[in-house]
Amino acid sequence: MCVLKYRAFVDNKMYKMVGWMGDFITLSRKNESKYVQSINVKREDIFIMQSSGLKDKKGNEIFHGDIVKNSDKDIGIVRFKDGAFEVDFKEYIPVLLGLINDDLEIIGDIHRNKKLLDKIIDKNKKVICMNKVEKRLSRKRKRTPKKDVQ
């Protein structure tokens, strides 16, 4: 049986998700299972990423939103779409993750590695998971109150 695992990106930090109930999310820092932190955040301020249950060639668990590189140096984004995990490369059609995960290496994620995204996304092809990130970030910027200058 597959155990679902999640991680969360909140306030520019990545956390392991231990659990959630309603709007309360319990997080743990990476490799710190003894210490947990329960926080209450708005849904639009947190990015939740599900594990694929697969590992890259170095044994690292692959999550939705990871940026990966194959042996040919092609870079792509892992995403969950239509009930399956796939890798969306700039130059190719999306490939099912389970067919190529042994050839991939995780080199970052969509939240902390914006420069890598420039190598993947071109003007003619928008990646779905990045569009969601951009929309959430733009909403967050709009909500930030501007200081009045007097």
The pLDDT value recorded for residue 50 is: 92
C-beta atoms surrounding 56 within 10 Å: 20
In this structure, is residue 92 part of a structural domain? Answer: yes
Structure tokens at 119: 């190598």
Q: Find tokens 């695992």 and name the residue.
A: 5
Q: Is 148 within a domain?
A: no
The whole-number pLDDT of residue 28 equals 75
**48 occurs within a structural domain:** yes
**Using CA atoms, how far apart are residues 117 and 131, in angstroms rounded to an integer?**
12
Percent above pLDDT 90 for the chain: 34
Query: Does a structural domain hold residue 79?
Result: yes
Lowest mean pLDDT among 11-15, 60-64, 86-90, 100-104: 11-15
The pLDDT assigned to 123 comes to 44
In a 13 Å sphere around the CA of 72, the CA atoms on its Cβ side amount to: 6
Residue 128 has pLDDT above 50, yes or no: no
pLDDT of residue 124: 42
| 107 occurs within a structural domain | yes
Range of the domain at 98: 6-138
In a domain, 70, yes or no: yes
Question: Is the confidence at residue 145, as pLDDT, over 60?
Answer: no
Question: What residue ranges in 4-147 does DSSP mark as E strands?
Answer: 6-10, 13-21, 24-28, 37-40, 46-55, 61-63, 66-69, 75-81, 84-89, 95-96, 105-109
How many angstroms separate the Cα of 119 from the Cα of each of 18, 38, 91, 100, 106?
A: 33, 36, 11, 20, 15
Could you tell me the pTM of the whole model? 0.73
Mean pLDDT taken over the chain: 78
Q: Above 90 in pLDDT, residue 61? A: yes
**Domain tally, the chain:** 1
Can you give the pLDDT at residue 84?
93
The CATH number assigned to the domain holding 63 equals: 2.30.30.290
**Residue 53, domain member (yes or no):** yes
78-121: pLDDT as tens digits:
999 999 999 998 888 899 999 999 999 999 998 888 777 777 77
For the CA atoms of the chain, what is the radius of gyration? 17
Note whether residue 114 is domain-resident.
yes
Maximum average pLDDT range among 18-27, 91-100, 117-126: 91-100
